[in-house]
Structure formats: structure tokens, C-alpha cells
């Protein structure tokens, strides 16, 4: 990032030390404690964030501190096993904080790990992280938490941020209870509301509070989250500094970051920064990444701007550019599913290819009246737009609904989507948070 002093870059350096248990390590005697499991505090700017690594055997960590000795440190071990200290980079951001990033490697499936991170000269309390199955797994998709957007309806920024952070905590809890041990969360962008401007101290402070609110749910100490860059994020260096994105490229770049990807089991996840409208760069990213991972079966694209959504943005100029150019790139690379945000209204398209609606089947579940949309041989791409996951902002449905939309849900109730990935199918169910009931048919993509 510009005008940032790199204190140290020490990637993938490991030091192996044996301790019977991490929790009684001598270094750990003066660890600091985080706040209560179910409370939201906005004055803790040092909360750690877990992000999927380059592949399922790796995990990325990032956190803020006020001081650094030049090296970021994570120590991790299986219970009763060898403790490994991983070292990474520390970057001074010029706003009173240091961004720390570390990558952990060689993780095994279905294993419980204990980790701790060093912050301002002290080790955190030991925290638990459990890997899941690497082949048959699930993840949660949510969009537009936009922490801080409720502030317009409150007496202060703090009140609005705290409301949104509490709702963010609730939707994560409900989604985790419904999804049966997901491997990670995917967020479709607009994680926070305010652009950080270095020359405007007020906005810097508000942005820091919003990120503190976004990271405040205790579940995020144990659950990785992969974030798309939204239009409210694109010019904010806090996004780049708070999240340790894997396989980040120089394509599709804005201040917040650029196109990046990771693999998990038999699935390739491509995060496209659609705030950058250089279509050639996005094509290069998708083409090259798919070619490098050509033996992976499933391909899921994630980007913020919904090109087939049902809300107010569908006729925006940037959406038109993306809608005219991006689908052919995705189709040429046999993308199976696209996950988006931006319109704050849930919608799902028919499977689309060459601007045509492709065939699918509607089946009834055995011993149930519930309907299932079955897309066989992965014909066409299904585009899903997440609604607001916190209720911080909703938009209305437009009168002239796109012919490509199969289902739209515009109740002002937050939603989340559970995606299960198996060897021969992807299963998708979307829920509203009030009654925790489905708002759409189950979708099954087969190939």
C-alpha cells in the first residue's frame, strides 16, 4: 500500500518448539483476555480475523496492534502436540495501528487446533480452531452487513454501529446453528459503511469503530471468513489491512485490494473486485486461475455487484458494463455458481448461458411438499444475490423485474444462505432470520 512503512516481511518462517500444552506455555502466562463471548465492545481494535488460506491445509490470520517488534507471531498446535510458531509481516499504517498477518500451514482435516497470537508484547488467551472435512463440507454465504449503516437512524455513530454489530453477531450464530459445522463464511462485500480518509480524522475513527464491530462476534475467532470487496470497501485501506486475503493478484486492483482466489477440496473460489471495471484484467484473472486449477471440479465466483439483481442498482452504468461483459468470461470458464451482493434484496436467477434461460427440473422432496430446483450437468450459471445480512439497509424491488430472476425476496428481514458441497452436487438453501425458515426452493446443481 502507498506511503506505508514496511517494518518486516517474514513469510512462512516457522520455529518448532515443544510444549506439553499451548495453554500452559511459559510465554502464555501474561496473555490478554478478549471480552465476553456474547458482548459487543467497540473499543477493542485488536480482534483477530481468520481467512481461508491458499488451500484447505492453510489458514490466514490478521489483526491490529499498536506496537510491534517487527515480527507478527501465531503459535498453534494440536491438543497435547508440538507447538509451532509461525512468523509473518507487520505493517505500520500511519493511523496509530500496525497490521499483522501470518499464514499457518500443514493443517489436517477434522482436527482441533489451539492457537494464540501475539499483540503488543503479550500472547492472547488460547483459542480453538477446528478443521472440517476437506471434500464434503459446507459454507455460509451472506452479503452487505454494512456495519454502521444504521447510524443514520440513531443518535450517534456508536449506537448505529453497535446495533449492526449485534445483528451481525445474531445472523452468524443462527447460520452456524443451521448449517452443521461449516468450514468458513463467504461475505459478498460492503462489510462496513464508511470510507476511511486519512485527512479526515473523524472518518478514520468511525471506520475503525465499524471494523471493530464487524470483527466483534466471538464466532469469528474460530470461523474463517472470506470477504469480497464492496463499493463501500473499495477505497478503504482498512479492508486490505484487516483481512489476509490468499493468492492476491495485481489484477482488478483498488485501494482495498484486488482479485484473489483460494481452493478448498474440489472447489475453486474466485473473488473478483468488480469495483474495478477493467474487464480485460478480470478476464486474465479468471482465465489464468482456472487454467492453473483445471483439475478442480467445482468453480464458484464471488463478486459484490449483482448483474442480474432485482433492486435499484440494476440500471446503474457500472452494472450494465459488468452485465454486458462478465457473464461470457464466467461461462467460458465453466463457472457453476456466482454469489453477489449490492442490491440488499435476495434474488436467484434461472441457470443462464448465452443470455438464455437453460433447462432445469422442479422436483418434490420425498415425504415433503418442499420443492427442489435441480440443475443437471451444471447447465448455465445460477446467480444468487444476498440480502442485507444485518438489516442495516434494505432497498425496494424494482417494478420491471428481470426475466432472468427465478425467485426474489424483498421482505425487510436479514437472510443467509447455506451451501453444501459434495463430490457430485452443490446444495443451496437460503433462510430468513426471524423464523429461520427457507425463503426459496432448495437448489441442487449436479455434474
Tell me, yes or no, whether 33 lies in a domain: no
Query: Which residues lie closer than 8 Å to 30 by C-beta, 6 or more apart?
Result: 122, 123
Angle at 220 between CA 218 and CA 221, to 5 degrees: 75
Q: Which of 130, 162, 184 represents a domain boundary (last residue)?
A: 130
Please indicate, yes or no, whether residues 182 and 265 belong to a single structural domain of this protein: yes
pLDDT of residue 174: 93
Longest Cα–Cα distance of the chain, Å, equals: 65
Residue predicted with more confidence, 313 or 8: 313
Owner of C-alpha cell 487454467: 291
Q: Which of 130, 164, 192 represents a domain boundary (last residue)?
A: 130
Tell me, yes or no, whether 245 lies in a domain: yes
Please indicate, yes or no, whether residues 281 and 226 belong to a single structural domain of this protein: yes
Strand 298-305 relative to strand 267-271, pairing: parallel
Quick count: other Cβ atoms within 10 Å of Cβ 316?
14
Q: Which domain holds residue 333?
A: 134-446
Tell me, yes or no, whether 375 lies in a domain: yes
How far apart, in whole angstroms, are the C-alpha atoms of residue 47 and residue 306?
30
**Which CATH number fits the domain that encloses residue 393?**
3.60.21.10
Give the chain's domain count.
2
Tell me, yes or no, whether 67 lies in a domain: yes
Question: How is 369-435 classified by DSSP, letter by letter?
Answer: --EEEEEGGG-SBEEEE--BSSSS---PPPSS--TTEEEEE-SSS-EEEEEEE-SSEEEEEEEETTT
Residue predicted with more confidence, 54 or 401: 54
How far apart, in whole angstroms, are the C-alpha atoms of residue 323 and residue 352?
12
Average pLDDT over every residue of 137-151 = 93
Tell me, yes or no, whether 24 lies in a domain: no
- Report whether pLDDT(76) > 90: yes
pLDDT, one tens digit per residue, over 13-46 is: 333 333 333 333 334 333 343 444 445 555 678 8
Q: The dihedral of CA 319, 322, 328, 332: what is its sign? A: negative
Average pLDDT over every residue of 124-144 = 95
pLDDT of residue 6: 38
Please indicate, yes or no, whether residues 85 and 157 belong to a single structural domain of this protein: no
How far apart, in whole angstroms, are the C-alpha atoms of residue 282 and residue 278?
7
pLDDT of residue 371: 87
Q: Which of 82, 101, 130 represents a domain boundary (last residue)?
A: 130
- Report whether pLDDT(90) > 60: yes
On average, the pLDDT of the chain sits at 87
pLDDT of residue 315: 80
How far apart, in whole angstroms, are the C-alpha atoms of residue 95 and residue 108?
38
Tell me, yes or no, whether 30 lies in a domain: no
How far apart, in whole angstroms, are the C-alpha atoms of residue 290 and residue 270?
9
Please indicate, yes or no, whether residues 119 and 140 belong to a single structural domain of this protein: no
- Report whether pLDDT(387) > 60: yes
C-alpha cell at 210: 465499524
Tell me, yes or no, whether 1 lies in a domain: no
pLDDT of residue 436: 92
How far apart, in whole angstroms, are the C-alpha atoms of residue 443 and residue 419?
9
Please indicate, yes or no, whether residues 272 and 360 belong to a single structural domain of this protein: yes
pLDDT, one tens digit per residue, over 153-212 is: 787 888 889 999 999 999 999 999 887 789 999 999 999 988 766 556 677 788 888 999
Please indicate, yes or no, whether residues 180 and 67 belong to a single structural domain of this protein: no
| Residue 74 φ/ψ, nearest 5 degrees | -125, 135
C-alpha cell at 26: 511459559
Please indicate, yes or no, whether residues 116 and 236 belong to a single structural domain of this protein: no
Q: Which of 353, 355, 376, 362 is nearest to 407 (CA)?
A: 362
Please indicate, yes or no, whether residues 143 and 82 belong to a single structural domain of this protein: no
- Report whether pLDDT(243) > 50: yes
32 DSSP 8-state letter: B
Strand 346-349 relative to strand 382-385, pairing: antiparallel
Please indicate, yes or no, whether residues 270 and 155 belong to a single structural domain of this protein: yes
Please indicate, yes or no, whether residues 250 and 360 belong to a single structural domain of this protein: yes
Owner of C-alpha cell 460492503: 190
- Report whether pLDDT(253) > 80: yes
How far apart, in whole angstroms, are the C-alpha atoms of residue 330 and residue 242?
29
- Report whether pLDDT(222) > 70: yes
Please indicate, yes or no, whether residues 306 and 210 belong to a single structural domain of this protein: yes
**Which CATH number fits the domain that encloses residue 117?**
2.60.40.380
Average pLDDT over every residue of 136-152 = 93
Please indicate, yes or no, whether residues 68 and 159 belong to a single structural domain of this protein: no
Q: The dihedral of CA 447, 445, 349, 336: what is its sign? A: negative
Angle at 36 between CA 30 and CA 37, to 5 degrees: 115
pLDDT class of 441 with cuts at 50, 70, 90:
very high
Tell me, yes or no, whether 293 lies in a domain: yes
Amino acid at each position: 500500500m502507498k506511503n506505508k512503512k514496511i517494518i518486516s516481511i517474514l513469510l512462512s518462517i516457522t520455529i518448532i518448539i515443544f510444549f506439553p500444552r499451548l495453554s500452559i506455555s511459559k510465554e502464555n502466562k501474561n496473555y490478554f483476555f478478549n471480552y465476553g463471548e456474547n458482548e459487543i465492545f467497540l473499543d477493542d481494535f485488536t480482534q483477530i480475523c481468520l481467512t481461508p488460506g491458499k488451500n484447505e491445509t492453510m489458514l490466514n490470520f490478521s489483526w491490529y496492534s499498536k506496537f510491534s517488534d517487527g515480527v507478527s507471531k501465531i503459535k498453534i498446535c494440536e491438543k497435547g502436540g508440538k507447538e509451532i510458531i509461525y512468523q509473518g509481516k507487520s505493517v505500520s499504517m500511519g493511523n496509530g495501528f500496525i497490521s499483522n498477518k501470518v499464514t499457518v500451514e500443514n493443517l489436517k482435516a477434522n482436527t482441533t487446533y489451539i492457537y494464540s497470537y501475539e499483540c503488543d508484547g503479550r500472547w492472547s488467551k488460547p483459542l480453538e480452531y477446528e478443521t472440517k472435512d476437506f471434500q464434503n463440507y459446507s459454507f455460509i454465504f451472506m452479503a452487505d452487513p454494512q456495519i454502521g449503516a444504521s447510524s443514520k437512524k440513531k443518535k450517534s455513530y456508536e449506537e448505529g454501529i453497535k446495533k449492526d454489530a449485534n445483528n451481525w453477531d445474531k445472523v452468524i450464530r443462527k447460520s452456524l446453528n443451521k448449517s452443521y459445522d461449516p468450514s468458513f463464511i463467504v461475505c459478498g462485500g460492503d462489510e462496513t459503511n464508511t470510507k476511511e480518509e486519512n485527512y479526515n480524522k473523524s472518518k478514520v475513527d468511525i471506520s475503525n469503530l465499524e471494523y471493530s464491530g464487524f470483527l466483534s462476534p466471538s464466532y469469528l475467532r474460530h470461523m474463517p471468513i472470506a470477504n469480497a470487496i464492496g463499493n463501500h470497501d473499495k477505497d478503504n485501506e482498512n479492508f486490505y489491512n484487516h483481512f489476509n486475503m490468499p493468492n492476491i493478484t495485481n489484477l482488478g486492483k483498488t485501494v482495498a485490494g484486488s482479485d484473489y482466489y483460494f481452493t478448498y477440496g474440489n472447489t475453486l473460489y474466485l473473488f473478483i473486485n468488480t469495483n474495478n471495471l477493467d474487464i480485460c484484467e478480470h478476464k486474465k484473472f479468471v482465465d489464468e486461475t482456472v487454467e492453473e486449477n483445471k483439475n478442480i471440479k467445482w468453480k464458484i465466483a464471488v463478486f459484490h455487484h449483482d448483474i442480474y439483481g432485482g433492486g435499484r442498482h440494476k440500471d446503474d452504468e457500472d452494472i450494465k458494463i459488468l452485465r454486458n461483459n462478465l457473464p461470457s468470461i464466467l461461462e467460458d470458464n465453466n463457472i457453476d455458481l456466482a454469489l453477489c451482493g449490492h442490491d440488499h434484496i435476495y434474488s436467484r436467477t434461472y441457470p443462464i448461458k448465452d443470455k438464455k434461460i437453460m433447462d432445469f427440473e422442479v422436483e418434490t422432496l420425498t415425504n415433503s411438499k418442499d420443492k427442489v430446483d435441480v440443475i443437471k450437468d451444471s447447465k448455465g450459471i445460477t446467480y444468487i444475490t444476498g440480502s442485507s445480512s444485518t438489516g442495516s439497509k434494505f432497498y425496494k424491488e424494482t417494478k420491471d423485474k428481470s426475466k432472468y430472476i427465478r425467485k426474489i425476496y424483498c421482505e425487510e428481514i436479514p437472510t443467509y444462505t447455506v451451501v453444501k458441497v459434495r463430490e457430485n452436487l452443490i446444495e443451496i438453501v437460503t433462510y430468513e432470520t426471524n423464523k429461520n425458515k427457507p425463503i426459496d426452493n432448495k437448489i441442487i446443481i449436479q455434474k
